[in-house]
Amino acid sequence: MNGTMQGQARLRVVIAGGGTAGWMTAAALGGTLGELIDVTLVESDAIGTIGVGESTIPPIILFNRLLGIDEAEFMRATQATFKLGIKFENWKGVGDSYFHSFGITGKDHWSAGFQHFWLQGQSVGDEHSYDDYCLELKAALAGKFAHLPDDRMNYAYQLDSGRYAAFLRQRAEAAGVTRVEGRIASVELDGQSGDIAALRLDGDRRIAGDLFVDCTGFRALLIGGALHVGFDDWTHWLPCDSAIAVQTASVRPPVPYTRAIAHDAGWQWRIPLQHRQGNGIVYCSRYLDKASALERLLGSVEGQVLTEPNVIGYTTGVRRQQWHRNCVAVGLSGGFMEPLESTSIHLIQRAVLRLIRMLPAGRISERDVAEFNDQQMADMEHIREFLILHYKATERRDSAFWRHCASMDIPPSLRHRIELFRETGRVFRRNDELFAENSWVQVMMGQGIMPRAWHPLAARLQPQELGKFLASLRETVDRSVANLPTHQAYIARYCAAGSAAAA
């Protein structure tokens, strides 16, 4: 690659597009690198954003801390609530539910996860649920929350992503990021190198740069439109291809978790914020038409509808290269996996922090590009497999959609994970995977995959000794939950958004 950065006093980074992806990128680059680079973000107020990424996972706490963000201030600005996990309803079967919580369940041994000791307990007559050993899960279902010493409560946020973008924009501009209002008319390529040379805006304006970040969403104007990087379609594994989102007024205090409610052609979400609730329906258009999906969504929401329905069509999949030449795709331009496990904002965060670690000092290194792409693809494939698990491991056969999901072929690596757990109770986390052992255990058992055997170490404990061990863990959880304030009371004291925020 004939990079144009060699000899530049300061790297010129141009971010194409705003929204959550653009302003997370801008705030992180501006906040961490300051005067070492020049950052320009181009966006048009006339172009809307998807803006439905309201539910997050715990790594966002690290991102905000890296940027020096005060948590209470951020939560007030984004009308955020706390999130301790996701309640999955009707996934294993109609009427069944389970909870995928943050944190850990019970107490692991270095040789075996807690599930092995719980399974041994079940075999000798203990009837307590696996759920009884998880603080976050029990607190969530009790509607309670508080920060605990030593970060013992693992949590994330339910937030207004549009307000989050606006909050980050203020920080980015304060850190020296320049925002340019305008619509991108075309992308100018360097005639010799093939790299992107500049963005051409309406009004015959030209924004030149050295490194370009594509945050143009599904349009992927730079990475796809200008550089023609291909896209791998994963719809054969994740068949939903449509969503409709709508906001409603709150009718009750917000719970500290997201709900994912399966229906006969997909699922619905409910995400409570401080002043409203986010609602949506995700579905496969082969099994449910848009009019029926909208009717189903509006017929199930609670409270006054505050917004016009936002209809979104998408193709689940990934850009074959997230970094190509002098362009990095961040957010939807690099790929999309439905919001079932709230990973959209997380994937933005991973890409941005990875880009900062690999930011070129001069000429772009092809080794950096290759490593970035390998790591990004590994992240997305891992998340893809975890999402497929929710659809594949089901006992539902009540609709053509669920019969398709139950019978579909799955990646060999996921098949191995499922069969390994079914046969031995074991889950092995690879490298820096996002979802830890407890996540896989909760979802697999919640979806009906129960181990036939478990680690022999658990059998070394005499039934009475094992019973005392399990009882002590349950008592610790119950005592902690009993001492927690309600979620609503804690928000009111810690980060309540004023009436102006609700306007």
Residue indicated by tokens 């107490």: 107
Q: Which CATH number fits domain 11-81+159-233+316-382: 3.20.20.150, 3.40.50.720, 3.50.50.60, 3.40.50.2300?
A: 3.50.50.60
Buried b (16+ CB within 10 A) or exposed e, 149-185: eeeebbbbbbbbbbbbbebbbebbbebebebeebebe
pLDDT at 9 (0 to 100): 66
The residue type found at 385 is E
pLDDT at 430 (0 to 100): 79
Q: Are strands 276-283 and 242-249 parallel, antiparallel or unpaired?
A: antiparallel
pLDDT at 5 (0 to 100): 44
Which phi and psi (to 5°) does residue 241 adopt? -135, 10
Which phi and psi (to 5°) does residue 402 adopt? -70, -30
Cα 313 to chain centroid, rounded:
19
CB 167 within 8 A of CB 18: no
List, as own/partner pairs, every contact residues 100-103 make where C-beta atoms lie below 8 angstroms and the sequence separation is at least 24, other chains included. 100/341, 100/439, 100/442, 100/443, 100/446, 101/134, 101/136, 101/137, 101/140, 101/438, 101/442, 102/57, 102/58, 102/136, 102/154, 102/155, 102/156, 103/134, 103/135, 103/136, 103/153, 103/154, 103/438
Q: Of the residues 83, 87, 92, 138, which is catalytic?
A: 83
pLDDT at 1 (0 to 100): 41
pLDDT at 6 (0 to 100): 46
Two structure tokens written together for 164: 């989050």
The residue type found at 405 is C
Two structure tokens written together for 152: 């013992």
CB 384 within 8 A of CB 347: no
Cα gap 137→145, rounded to integer Å: 11
Question: What DSSP string runs through 117-148?
Answer: HHHHHHHTT----GGGG-HHHHHHHTTB----
Residue indicated by tokens 């990875």: 354
Let me know how many helices (H) and strands (E) the chain has, helices first: 15, 21
CB 44 within 8 A of CB 181: yes
CB 135 within 8 A of CB 126: no
Cβ partners under 8 Å of residue 104, min gap 6: 114, 134, 436, 438
Sheet-wide strand order for 327-329: 178-181, 37-43, 11-16, 211-214, 327-329, 323-324
Q: Which residue in 232, 238, 235 sits closest to 387, CA to CA?
A: 238
Extents of the domains making up the chain: 11-81+159-233+316-382, 102-153+392-482, 242-313
What's the burial of 19, exposed, middle or buried (CB within 10 Å: 0-12/13-18/19+)?
A: buried
Cα gap 65→21, rounded to integer Å: 18
Quick one: residue 308, left, alpha or beta (phi over 0 = left, psi -120 to 50 = alpha)?
beta
HSE-CB for 87 with a 13 A CA cutoff? 22
In the chain (503 residues long), the average pLDDT of successive 10-residue segments reads 51 96 97 92 78 83 96 97 98 98 92 94 95 98 96 95 95 96 96 96 94 96 98 97 96 97 98 96 98 98 95 96 98 94 94 94 90 96 97 97 97 97 93 90 98 94 94 97 98 84 37
CB 454 within 8 A of CB 120: yes
Residue 138 annotated to the active site: no
The residue type found at 48 is G
DSSP class of residue 322 equals S
Cα gap 22→24, rounded to integer Å: 6
Beta bridge partners of 184: 201
**Full-prediction pTM beyond 0.85?**
yes
